[in-house]
Amino acid sequence: MARLEARNVSKSYPGVLALDGVSIAFEPGEIHGVIGENGAGKSTLMKLLSGVERPTEGAILVEDSEVHWHGVRESIDAGVVMIHQELNLVGTLTVAENIALGREPRKGLALDHKSARETAKRLLTEVRADISPDTMLEDLSIAGQQLVEIAKALSYEAKVLIMDEPTAVLSERETTALLDLMERLKSRGTTVVFISHILEQLIQVCDRITVLRDGQFVATLPKGECDEATLAKLMVGRELADYYPTKTPSWKEEVVLDVQGLQVPGHTKDVNFQVRRGEIVGIAGLVGAGRTEAAEAIVGLRKSAGSISYEGKPVHFTSPRQALEAGIAYVSEDRKLLGLHLTRSVGENITLANLRAYGSLLLDRKKEQQHIEHWVKEIQIKVSSPDVDVQTLSGGNQQKVSLSKWLDTQPKLLVLDEPTRGVDVGTKSEIYYLVRKLAAEGMTFVVISSEMPELIGLCDRTVVLREGRTVGELTGEDMTEEKMMMLVAGVDA
Amino acid sequence: MKFGPFMQKWGVLAAFLVLLGLNIVMQPQVFLKPDVLRNLFSQNCGVGIIAVGMTLLIVSGGIDLSVGSLMALAGGVGIMVMNKSLEGHAPEMMAVWTGVGASILVSVAGGLVNGLLVTVGRIAPFVATLGGLLAYRSLTQAIADGSEIASKSTGGLESLAGAGLPLPFIMGSNHKPLMVQWIIFVFLLAVVAATFLLERTPFGRRLVAVGANEKAAVYAAVSVNAVKLGAYAIVGLCVGIASVIGAAKLNSISSSSMGAFYELDAIAAVVIGGTSLSGGRGRVWGTLIGVLLLGMISTMLVTANVSIYWQGVVKGVIILLAVLIQRGQKAA
Amino acid sequence: MKFGPFMQKWGVLAAFLVLLGLNIVMQPQVFLKPDVLRNLFSQNCGVGIIAVGMTLLIVSGGIDLSVGSLMALAGGVGIMVMNKSLEGHAPEMMAVWTGVGASILVSVAGGLVNGLLVTVGRIAPFVATLGGLLAYRSLTQAIADGSEIASKSTGGLESLAGAGLPLPFIMGSNHKPLMVQWIIFVFLLAVVAATFLLERTPFGRRLVAVGANEKAAVYAAVSVNAVKLGAYAIVGLCVGIASVIGAAKLNSISSSSMGAFYELDAIAAVVIGGTSLSGGRGRVWGTLIGVLLLGMISTMLVTANVSIYWQGVVKGVIILLAVLIQRGQKAA
Amino acid sequence: NAAPEPSKTDPGTKPTAQTSGKKYKIGVSIPSADHGWTAGVVYWANEAKKELASDADITVVTAKDGEDQVKQLETLATQGLDAIVFLAYDTKSLTPEIKKLKEQGIFLVSVDRGVDTPVDMFLAGDNKQFGKISAEYIVKKLGGKGKILVYRGIPCQVDTDRVDAANAVFKASGVEVLQELVGKWDRQEAYKVTQTALLKYPQIDAIWAGDDDMALGVEKAFKEANRTQPWMLGGAGMQDVVKRVKANDPVFPADTTYPPKMINDAVHACVEALKAGKKAGQAQENKTIPCELITPENADKFTYPDSPF
Ligand SMILES: Nc1ncnc2c1ncn2[C@@H]1O[C@H](COP(=O)(O)OP(=O)(O)OP(=O)(O)O)[C@@H](O)[C@H]1O
Ligand SMILES: Nc1ncnc2c1ncn2[C@@H]1O[C@H](COP(=O)(O)OP(=O)(O)OP(=O)(O)O)[C@@H](O)[C@H]1O
Ligand SMILES: [Mg+2]
Ligand SMILES: [Mg+2]
């Protein structure tokens, strides 16, 4: 008897058929992976299964009886809990209060803070998060928030726990802890549904993996039959030959950016690195290493001390506008809050940073349209029309919009912060090729990433930060996961 | 704590104390009298209680423009019910309390109507309650023929706003122990209750959640509509209490001027107090100081004999200064 | 298109047309007169132009409560400058246009002050402009001693609001071709210009971006402060134009009542028109309909001889109904 | 425009109305009830509407400010009215519109405040006289010396006229005006500012309040503070106060008339004039409604049991 099942469900949004007659069943005590390209319908399917949205057609069944949920309360009562792809927490409440929200423990009339805090502490320990329950949520990094989200989901003690790309914002250490946690949940009989674009993780923990493509069910493979090549082929519908582009060194000797002794109060103490023209430089580090802050300081988003020189001249930008005028652009890791205008259209988002190129008084809408179409095609943004709101896009496609916004400004130096977070393998590979191609044409890249294979596969060189300091640099043959891991975590070889 | 965050947190209090200090220095003969402080509280009880309720509502992401009109309506109905009771020869205080009950009933009902328009009707709070601002006032004028509704109570109603506790050792300007009216305690009680509600109860935490991130609240299975409705009902209750205080003070209500502009004063006090108009964060004690600050400006305009034509400039500038020293705050 | 989204988009227009239809059916002798429609436009030019500016400001996430007071101040200063000019024996129309210039100067300056308080001062728009609401009005009363400021122009100032284009074939109720005053064209021009600005220019895109997600706008290299300042200046300009229209219509301005409650009417028109008070999306044509809808309610209350005491109820209920049919909209 | 042009708007009704006593269409435009006295005006206008229901079809509209009043008059003008009775919110602001109405041949009756152009009938209240006689009474009763408080209303021409006239009298006498307080013609407001003023002034001999509503608020504040109640003189002949004057209440030895009923008189006069065949555009007929001092002796004359003010 399946614990949770979707039978022939379809879901349509205005202009989009997101799901087309999908059937899927989850058994007790299994870890079930779900994969598919961006926009394949994974999140939509999970929203139907967790009562957030209702199917246009088909049925949802819990232990073989059909359910018609009207809201999250009912699905939670039935034992189905979902961690959404986008964070849904309250910034102005503490971690403990967020975890307790909706089911606060009481002492008389009042909220029982002590018990809420203890529960939070216990759950945070379970997800291996070193976070105080009294921290304001908005003071946490995205990774921290994601861990809180997971802790909150655990607190429901659900029978089915759906996790929609929980690892996208986590670094190695937290990811490993999370995969462990899944195993423990499974041994307690919980069903875990796990969505991810990192196939390696899926293969490691899943008992079965279901593949979706274009809103349709493709296949469900048992553990033994899953390997990266097969899965990728099922997802994309073709063979993925060379995942990373070949590293043809395209850089020149000229140093474009030279950062020396960069200090961002409270975040970095001594960041040093150089970037040459046409080079792709990676920056590795654990969450909290200060990579994002260093990048933000460079483009004028944060106050900093130390020296930065760009194209041979010392610079000190006080706003991204100045940085952009000099040719430096920064793609934020937090696409939801900082990278995108969710309530505006795809097209508007893509051209926002580059409006000057479309006229100073009047917008050249034809030219704008051409550029928008170019990017939608170039990096395969799956969208029915560029006029729809970005918030209706799937997570990975939103990431692509954020990327296009900056590519459209044609910067000389582009700083990418977690550029492929939530992007499917097929498109990821295409983004790598695009970056390589642009580098060959003379564009310079700084790539901040928590995925080591990505840094290794894409970058010419990787700078490692630890606790706000540059602790090393790896090039060529030296760029291996072991060496990088050691530098990142500060354990001596 | 650094200066910036310190001021962000305590700036409104600092502004209040500075203004009080200035007043004491410039007019010691008035501002050193304990009566002044007592009056400051008693005069601003009504708008203060409403502002306290409004704080909770604004934290939840709502707003209520109808409070002043609803106050007139509730007060008017209350007095009429009381008068009817008295005509039926009910004992004075019983009639008075019947009237009080009617006022509270009307105002809570009014609050619920606002809440239903916002939740079930899915109308933006600003417009939903703008309708009330117009309609409740008009209704009051209709039942009062545009004029006053006078109470037929002989002292009973007034007693609600009078009397109180004498403060030992502290002499009022009439050389008798200073009386602290009960209504001041009601106001302070409202402040304490709202603080408790906001910061110590599940409901309070849900108010914050709904105001800060409605979707997150939905996903956490919080009944968003119930929370919102609750917030509007609380404002209604506060309006009801304020209407009783207003009616008791003058033993009558004016259908056209009672509560006029209270919405603006209450919202101003909330915002000056450091609560963000965009919801999700707020503090009741700040509102208390905001109310007292606005009240003190009014007192000051009288004692300093500021020309009527310049009063607005003085008031406007002081408000801006009070808020400027809290700058760095998130935009409301 | 389904009914829901259709109504969300066109509901306000539907509400307007339904109300117009009802009025025509119930009072054909009034509402079939072309004068009535003409008056609807001419009477609401002033508040309409301000509402148009306010739409852009609200889209950018701001709000301006000071518009009514600033209008009085700008109008007052304009008339005084004109009178001085006339006393100096300047030619009538030159004096008039000098006054117009002064009004515009004052109002744009006032708008910029608001903008600076919000951007550099980092004060929440609501409070920043609440200060202006009080201060500008008070300043006007101070320069006018609380009474009216009469123009010394003999017809020149009035001519700005008079005359216009005669409509061929359409007769007014005085049996002469109906005159469409220039100010109506100014209003319509403002609507077109603002629509264009919002939808066809980089500035408009930035306004929207700042209102929808200010932080993301900063990250997208938008000069947020410049955009906000621009929005406040535009509102200032609109206020200036409205003040000239107001002064020209009345050949005087009343320091205490000119522009009173314009902030409320303008904001109401914007919200009724479907622009979200939380910023990031809005439409100028909706505001136009919102202004006309509110104007028609006022006209209707006069022509239908609704009892004075019930007018507020009627107005409130119609506003709510007009917004109810657009429901499903995001809360403002 | 000496003779009335034949009605241009609604040829059907006007001639018949004039000849056969059929219904006149009359518009009444007044400020909205934002304080006690204007509430009285609204009440009396509505009374007139009822009283004259058989003779005239009366539309009463209230304006929230001067501009609003202009708009309402514009709208009324499209209605084919025989006459308009108005109490100007702002006199100068209304003048251009009144000129336009005149051109349309509508019979115009101005009440209380004059506009800057002649109309057909003007029932004038006299705010300057109001200020003068009330102040003179105070000076006389105080014997030319003493300390008083003056209460102002909402800033506008009426308020300025009353207060300036009163102040002129006080200045010329030995009576000292301690302070002008702002009571906005409202009981609550006056009560509030008095509470504060009481802390400042140990001795107050009398009160000049520009309106009875304020006087009642002042009285309440004194009572609450347990202070010796000074006597006071308010204005506008509010019924509660008139009753107390009549009963020889020491707090209210007298009052000044400024009856909101003037609007009612005006509507009646207007209908009379129309019935008598008076036409628009002939000479202006002036009536001044004198401000009188109400004393216990003549109080009966000013009693209207049903009036809300
Ligand atoms: N609210 C909505 N309105 C319109 N279209 C929507 C909405 N939500 C999702 N869609 C569309 O449905 C399709 C499936 O989206 P979904 O989010 O389920 O993809 P996904 O498989 O989770 O992709 P990703 O890996 O990028 O997260 C997409 O084309 C998306 O644009
Ligand atoms: N020393 C510290 N003490 C407390 N909190 C810190 C400290 N350093 C960083 N943080 C918090 O942790 C977060 C770390 O994220 P940050 O973006 O700086 O790291 P990162 O190196 O960019 O890693 P990632 O991009 O993987 O999140 C910051 O937002 C900050 O709030
Ligand atoms: Mg997804
Ligand atoms: Mg980072």
State yes or no: pLDDT of C197 exceeds 50.
yes
- Collapsing DSSP to helix, strand or coil, A218 comes out as strand
Q: What is the pLDDT of residue C332?
A: 35
Q: How far apart are the first and last CA of chain D?
A: 39
Of A76, A93, A113, the CB nearest to B221: A76
Residues with Cβ within 8 Å of A326's Cβ and at least 6 positions away in sequence, in order, are A310, A311, A315, A317
Of A208, A192, A200, A194, nearest to A232 by C-alpha is A200
Q: Whose CA is nearest to atom 7 of ligand 1?
A: A392
Instruction: Classify residue D171 as exposed, middle or buried by CB count within 10 Å of its CB (0-12, 13-18, 19+).
Output: exposed
Residue C179: band (very low, low, confident or very high) from pLDDT cuts 50, 70, 90? confident
Q: Choose which residue among A87, A139, A263, A292 to substitute to test ligand 2 binding: the one with the highest number of ligand atoms within 8 A of its C-beta.
A: A292
Q: Which of A462, A163, A169 is nearest to A334 (CA)?
A: A169
**Residue of A9, A10, A11, A13 to mutate, ligand 1, most atoms within 8 A of C-beta:** A13
**Residue A358: phi, psi to the nearest 5?**
-105, 25
Burial environment of residue A212 by CB neighbours within 10 A (0 to 12, 13 to 18, 19 or more): buried
The answer for residues whose C-beta is within 8 angstroms of residue D242's C-beta and 6 or more apart is: D255, D294, D299, D302, D303
The helix (H) or strand (E) run that includes residue D181 is strand D174-182
| H/E segment holding residue A105 | none
pLDDT at B260 over 60: yes
Q: What is the pLDDT of residue B108?
A: 98
Residue A469's beta-bridge partner residues? A270, A466
| pLDDT (tens digit per residue) in A340-382 | 999 999 999 999 999 989 988 889 999 999 999 999 998 889 8
Q: Across A65-69, B49-53, C168-172, which has the greatest mean pLDDT?
A: B49-53
Q: Chain D contact for C23, CB < 8 A?
A: no
| φ, ψ (nearest 5 deg) of residue D187 | -65, -50
C-chain CB neighbours of A351 within 8 Å are 205
**Test site for ligand 1: of A11, A35, A43, A425, most ligand atoms within 8 A of the Cβ:** A43
Model pLDDT for residues A449-477, shown as the tens digit of each residue: 988 889 999 999 999 999 899 999 999 88
Chain D contact present for B213, CB below 8 A:
no
B328 contact partners, CB below 8 Å, separation of at least 6: B4, B5, B7, B8, C122
- Whether residue D5 has pLDDT greater than 70: no
Residue in the structure block whose two tokens are 């700058």: B327
Q: Tell me the Ramachandran region of residue B274: left when phi exceeds 0, alpha when psi lies from -120 to 50, beta otherwise.
A: left
> C-alpha angle C280/C286/C288, rounded to 5°?
125
- Report the interhelical angle of C45-59 vs C262-272 (nearest 10°): 60
Reading the block at residue C175, the tokens are 């049996």
* Each residue's pLDDT tens digit, C70-93: 999 999 999 999 999 999 888 989
Confidence of residue D198 (pLDDT cuts 50, 70, 90): confident
Q: Cα C92 vs. chain centroid, distance in angstroms?
A: 28
Q: Where are the alpha helices (H) located in chain C, listed in sequence order? A: 3-26, 28-31, 34-43, 45-59, 67-87, 92-119, 125-144, 156-161, 182-200, 202-212, 214-219, 224-250, 262-272, 284-303, 308-324
Residue C89 and residue C76: Cα distance in Å, rounded? 20
Residue type, A81: V
Q: State the Cα–Cα distance between residues A397 and D17, nearest whole angstrom.
A: 76
pLDDT single digits (tens) D203-230: 899 999 988 888 989 998 888 888 888 8
Is the confidence at residue D157, as pLDDT, over 80?
no
Q: Say what percent of chain A tops pLDDT 90.
A: 67
Q: Are A425 and A232 in contact (CB under 8 A)?
A: yes
Say yes or no to pLDDT of D18 above 90: no
Q: Distances from the Cα of C9 to the Cαs of C209, C268, C325, in angstroms?
A: 21, 17, 10
CB C69 within 8 Å of CB C253: no
Handedness of CA D233, D239, D242, D248 (dihedral sign): negative
CB contacts, 8 Å: C331 with chain A: none
- B83 and B109 Cβ atoms separated by less than 8 Å: no
**What is the distance between the alpha carbons of residues A418 and A401, in angstroms, rounded to a whole number?**
14
Q: Does residue A304 line the site of ligand 1, with CB under 6 A? A: no
Distance CA B36, CA B329 (A): 32
Q: Answer whether residue D3 shows pLDDT above 50.
A: no
Convert the pLDDT of each residue in B39-67 to its tens digit.
Answer: 899 899 999 999 999 999 999 999 999 99
Among A247-256, C242-251, C321-330, the least confident range: C321-330
Partners of A461 in the β-ladder: A281, A475
Helix H or strand E encompassing B159:
helix B156-161
D21: pLDDT strictly greater than 70: no
Q: Residue A384 has which token pair? A: 């029915």
User: How much is the mean pLDDT over chain D?
Assistant: 83
Q: Residue D104 in contact with residue D138, Cβ under 8 Å?
A: no
Return mean pLDDT, chain C: 89
Contact status, residue B58 vs residue B277, Cβ threshold 8 Å:
yes
Q: What residues pair up with A32 in beta bridges, in sequence order?
A: A193, A208
The pTM score is 0.89
Average pLDDT over residues D32-48: 83
Q: Tokens for A215?
A: 């809103």
Q: Are A182 and A205 a contacting pair, CB within 8 Å?
A: yes
Quote the pLDDT of residue C174.
64
Q: Which chains touch D (3 or more CB pairs under 8 A)?
A: B, C
DSSP A392: G
> Helix, strand, or coil here: B81?
helix
Q: Average the pLDDT over each of A67-76, C27-36, D24-33 and give the range with the smallest value.
A: C27-36
Tell me what pLDDT residue A238 has. Answer: 75
Backbone angles phi, psi at D248, to 5 degrees: 55, 35
Q: Please, what is the Cα angle at B23 between B18 and B29, to 5 degrees?
A: 145
Residue nearest to atom 31 of ligand 1 (CA): A393
| pLDDT at res. D307 | 66
| Residue A398 parent element (H or E) | helix A395-407
C219 → closest Cβ in A332, A342, A361: A332
**C-alpha–C-alpha distance, residues C37 and C303, integer Å:** 13
Residues 101-120 of B with CB under 8 A from C: 117-118
Does the beta carbon of A296 lie under 8 angstroms from any beta carbon of chain B? no
Per-residue pLDDT tens for C47-63? 999 999 999 999 999 99
Question: Which sign does the torsion angle of CA A385, A391, A395, A396 carry?
Answer: positive
Check residue A359 and give its pLDDT.
Answer: 87
pLDDT of residue B132: 93
What is residue A94's DSSP assignment? Answer: B
Confidence of residue D15 (pLDDT cuts 50, 70, 90): very low
Output the pLDDT for position A89.
93
pLDDT digits (tens, 9 = 90+) for B155-214: 888 888 877 777 767 776 667 777 788 899 999 999 999 999 999 999 999 999 999 999
Q: Say what percent of chain B tops pLDDT 70.
A: 95
Task: Give Dmax (Cα) for chain A.
Answer: 71
User: What is d(CA C63, CA B277) in angstroms, rounded to the nearest whole number?
Assistant: 12
Most confident of B9-13, B113-117, C23-27: B113-117
Element (H, E) at D294: strand D293-294
DSSP state letter for A89? -
pLDDT at position B34 is 84
Tokens read off for B80: 């009429």
Instruction: Kindly give, in sequence order, each residue whose CB lies less than 8 Å from that of residue A176, ignoring residues fewer than 6 positions away.
Output: none
pLDDT tens per residue across span A69-112: 988 899 999 999 999 988 899 999 999 999 999 889 998 888 99
Cβ neighbours of residue D98 under 8 Å, at least 6 residues apart?
Answer: D73, D86, D108, D110, D115, D117, D119
DSSP characters for C296-328? HHHHHHHHTT--HHHHHHHHHHHHHHHHHTTTT
- Average pLDDT of every residue of chain B: 89
Predicted confidence (pLDDT) at residue B231 exceeds the cutoff of 60: yes
Is the pLDDT at A19 greater than 60, yes or no?
yes
Rounded to a whole number of angstroms, the distance from the CA of A163 to the nearest CA of chain B is 14
* Phi-psi map region of D57: left, alpha, beta (phi>0 left; psi -120 to 50 alpha): beta
Please report the ipTM that was assigned to this predicted complex: 0.87
The token pair that represents A88 in the structure block:
């849904």
Atom of ligand 2 nearest to the CA of A266: 1
Cα radius of gyration rounded to whole Å, chain A: 23
> Can you name the residues that pair with A308 across neighbouring β-strands?
A259
* Residue B173 sits at the chain A interface (C-beta within 8 Å): no
- Residue D17: which pLDDT band, with cuts at 50, 70 and 90? very low
Cα of A85 to ligand 3 centre, how many Å?
A: 6
C-alpha Rg value of chain C to the nearest Å: 20
What percentage of chain A carries pLDDT values higher than 70?
Answer: 100
Q: ∠C92-C97-C100 over CA atoms, to 5°?
A: 130
**Residue whose CA is at the smallest distance from ligand 2 atom 9:** A288
For residue A492, the model assigns a pLDDT of: 57
**If we measure between CA atoms, which residue out of D245, D155, D185 comes closest to residue D36?**
D185
Name the 3-class secondary structure at D172: helix
pLDDT at residue C3 is higher than 70? no
Closest C-alpha among C213, B151, C220, B105 to residue A352: C220
Residues sharing a CB contact under 8 Å with residue A131, sequence separation 6 or more, in sequence order = A95, A124, A140, A144, A147, A148
